[in-house]
Structure 1
Amino acid sequence: MRSNLHRSTLVRQLEGCLPTGAAAPGDVARQDVAERLGQWLNVADAISLSSAHATIAAAGRQAARVSGQPATAAATLQAELERVRAVLSQSISTRDAKHKPDPDDLDTEFALCLQRYQDQQRRLEMSVDALRGHVRQTLAQGSPRLAQLAALDAVLDDMLGGREQRLLNNVPALLKARFTALRQAAAASDTPRDLHWLQGFNTELEQTLLAELDHRLQPVVGMIEAVDS
């Protein structure tokens, strides 16, 4: 079974951070889907997933028994999604206008960039997790089909969320490699003290965060789309 899905924006963005000749994330993504998923799940996970089938079925039966529940409002959820996306996107794109990089202390400059990225990562995680939980709770009060979807998302989040976060925690290392490559190229140029490359790096950092935001929001988008399907 081969994946025909297009590479995500985040994968494409990170490919630009890799050293020349390094294996691209997209190369891994084109491997057999079942094989890759098997590397994420161990025997205990498989047992948990099997047991979760009963939980998901029970969620559907419970939703069917509950009467008088309001219909799930896709428009309301979509508006909340767009609000969260806009707030986080604005936060990512906001820079300190007073900061002036020191060309003689670029190690400190990268440390500041790294701190900025990690602060934004934590904000993305907290905000999107809260939104995802809210959407699940809303779907759980809807039809049996939506309640089962909410239960399935909760199971997959518990099972795969930790591994996903560990992988996302590796992004700063790729950014460091990109920073180092740009710094070395600038040092070898005729204008080694010209820091235009640093502006470009900060733009790439923001683009990577925006791509990570899109990645984190995918389960939320999928659940909201399911409401009207």
Structure 2
Amino acid sequence: MSQATTHFAAASPRLLRYLAELGLARPEVSRQHFTRRLGALFDLQDSIAIAAVHGGLGKPGPAALPATDVTSLFLAGRGAILRSAARAFDPDGGARIRFPGLDPADPAARATSMEVEPYLGFYRAQQSDAEHRVRRLQLQVREASAGRSAQLDQLCALDAVLARSMSARTRGFFSAIPRLLQTHFETLRASYRPQGTDEAEAAALWQQTLQRYRLDMRGMLLAEIETRLLPVTGLVEAVEAHQMKETHD
């Protein structure tokens, strides 16, 4: 396994499966390896902040939203983030930053379209947009989840501490994906072998190669977003579990 793929020992199953399908990572994950790597992510200052959260909080205030509204808030935000990401890969989607639409029928443009950097620049821009959108949704869900119980308030406070502590590390974690996408592009480019000298045929073959890469990159970004959303998903599930317990008690 390459140095880049070792970053994904703590990734979501969907992202791991997608990396494995593209031949960029092995799908198996050691729980012991995950625990050891997770513990290494926190320094002394982080540990002190986490310990302070476990020290207890005051009496919870009133809940901002009913539990069902917290779920709706999350689902609406998640849907908007995923739709925005998918639209960036649609030539007619109207996104401000779109997957590079170079014309492979033009020999000069086709040569340019065989360089990986424009695609990686596009992906990094999508990562930055997803990061900001997920962070905003996480804050909204955290604020809406507070005030239900001391335990949930403690979880919300812990979520805030972890979000601050993990932001730089998370960015480094996901920075490995463009390197893997570069490897995948180079593999596809190496397999591009037009027969003969027919320009139209060569252009069509490269167009098919770019289409495959576009779909693979799209799938990778959507899987990455699902991974970024895991902390928010966990918070919503905790609110739902609390509501269910309250209903049955």
Find the residue that maps to 2:91 and give its secondary structure: coil
Change (3 A) 1:39 1:183: same
- After TM superposition, give the deviation of residue 77 of structure 1 in Å: 1.8
Q: In 2, Cα distance between the equivalents of 1:134 and 1:25?
A: 35
Alignment of 1:227 with 2:224, yes or no, is: no
Alignment of 1:134 with 2:125, yes or no, is: no
Alignment of 1:38 with 2:45, yes or no, is: no
Query: Structure 1, residues 51-104: CA drift from partner, whole Å, max 9, x if none?
Result: 4422xx12xx231xx4xx246422212222222222222222222249343322
Alignment of 1:114 with 2:109, yes or no, is: no
Query: Structure 1, residues 120-139: CA drift from partner, whole Å, max 9, x if none?
Result: 11111111101111111122
- Whichever residue aligns with residue 227 of structure 1, its letter is V
Listed as ranges, the matches of 1:56-67 within 5 Å are 57-58=56-57, 61-63=58-60, 66=61
135-144 vs 7-16, which deviates more?
7-16
Change (3 A) 1:169 1:148: same
- Whichever residue aligns with residue 59 of structure 2, its letter is Q
Q: In 2, Cα distance between the equivalents of 1:113 and 1:96?
A: 14
Q: In 2, Cα distance between the equivalents of 1:142 and 1:182?
A: 52
Alignment of 1:10 with 2:12, yes or no, is: no
* Structure 2 unpaired stretches of 5+: 1-9, 93-99, 105-109, 242-249
Alignment of 1:99 with 2:101, yes or no, is: yes
Q: In 2, Cα distance between the equivalents of 1:82 and 1:152?
A: 22
TM-score scaled by structure 1? 0.80
Listed as ranges, the matches of 1:60-209 within 5 Å are 61-63=58-60, 66=61, 69-70=62-63, 72-94=65-87, 95-97=90-92, 99-102=101-104, 103-108=110-115, 110-187=116-193, 193=203, 194-195=205-206, 196-209=208-221
TM-score scaled by structure 2? 0.74
Residue 227 of structure 2 aligns with which residue? 215
Change (3 A) 1:38 1:71: closer
- Whichever residue aligns with residue 185 of structure 1, its letter is S
**Does structure 1 conserve the Cα–Cα contact (< 8 Å) formed by 2:64 and 2:144?**
no
- After TM superposition, give the deviation of residue 45 of structure 1 in Å: 3.4
**Does structure 2 conserve the Cα–Cα contact (< 8 Å) formed by 1:18 and 1:174?**
no
Q: In 2, Cα distance between the equivalents of 1:70 and 1:167?
A: 34
Change (3 A) 1:71 1:126: closer
The size of the alignment, in residue pairs, is: 212
- After TM superposition, give the deviation of residue 144 of structure 1 in Å: 1.4
**Does structure 2 conserve the Cα–Cα contact (< 8 Å) formed by 1:72 and 1:141?**
no
Q: In 2, Cα distance between the equivalents of 1:6 and 1:214?
A: 10
Query: Structure 1, residues 125-172: CA drift from partner, whole Å, max 9, x if none?
Result: 111101111111122222212111101111222222321111101211
Q: In 2, Cα distance between the equivalents of 1:186 and 1:30?
A: 39
32-41 vs 166-175, which deviates more?
32-41
- After TM superposition, give the deviation of residue 17 of structure 1 in Å: 4.6
Find the residue that maps to 2:229 and give its secondary structure: helix
- After TM superposition, give the deviation of residue 224 of structure 1 in Å: 1.1
Q: In 1, Cα distance between the equivalents of 2:122 and 2:150?
A: 42
